[in-house]
Chain A
Amino acid sequence: MAGNERPGDHANAGRLTASLGNRAARGAAFAFVGACLAGVGLIAGWPLIGPQALRLRRSWDARVDVAGRSMEPALEPGDWLLVDPDAYAGGPPRVGQLVLCPDPRTPERLLIKRVGSVAPDGAVELLGDAPAESTDSRVFGTVPASDVRGRPWFRYWPLRRVGRLS
């Protein structure tokens, strides 16, 4: 028994324990450094990803579905869109951009149209992409830029048409 033990066995066992301990310590160190780097990265990167993440969140909350054919072929009835509600907070929309806007005649009804022109006084002309199927500024006139609600910028459904909107 004890007599069968060779002197080196203890040393080997000790080395094994030491190396196991080392490995665990090294793992913990790696994890710590990793976490630190991730933390630093998140803090450093926040100015870049943060606003995008918040914008995505707000866009999700403001998502809409499309009814009607006046925006064909760009948008089809049943499309589900993300809408950046603050896209036009800094200034009026530009010509060609998609906008949401309450119908001036029945404000509880939300319209989706494209900007045809913007006058210097901020009067925005809303037009449908398919004029024959659209009721727009040709009927109800221009709307003030302050009435424009948000910018649809991404279609997330149906899957075969997912993508950024222009």
Chain B
Amino acid sequence: MNRLLRALAPRRTAHAHCDIPCGVYDPAQARIEAESCYKIIQKYHDSSDELFRARCIHVKEERAELTKHHIDVMWHDYFKPEHVEKFPDLHDVCWKASKQASQVKRTVDLAEAQKLLDLIDKIDEMWRATNGPATTRMQAA
């Protein structure tokens, strides 16, 4: 039977895939960098060491920039037109999240960092609702 099936099996494959990168977008990346910003801002306020505070600002700006990059990648590369149909505020949320990342880069206000986390969570919700985890995260074998 196996031999028969092998004989009947096609020799060529027709791909009905999504691109490989389709399965690599994860808002967790943005979330991790944004959490860094939040924590660094906390540490900034907890310290009186000027050198340390200067480093905090430097690192926070770096992390905020990375957050913005990861948000943009979700926006540009992960989301597709039918996702926008499903979530009409998708562009607005991504835009606000990008802008909020810039805002966090600029300030040491913890509330701004929290706003950024909340917006990333909204992106995460849309990602989950569009089957993101199943296509992106490695599944247990």
Binding site for B on A (CB under 8 A): 62-71, 75, 77, 80-81, 83, 100, 103, 109-113, 128, 131-135, 138-139, 152, 156-157
Contact = CB atoms under 8 A, between A and B. Distances in A.
Interface residues of B, number: 20
Contact of A134 (B11, B16, B131): B16
Contact of A132 (B9, B13, B15, B80): B80
Contact of A113 (B10, B16, B22): B16
B82 A81 contact: no
A109 B82 contact: no
Majority SS of interface residues in chain A? mixed
Interface in B1-31: 8-19, 22
Nearest to B19: A135
Interface string B100-137: 00000000000000000000000000000011000100
Given A80-B8, A131-B82, A138-B81, A110 B19 contact: no
B8 to A, nearest CB: 7
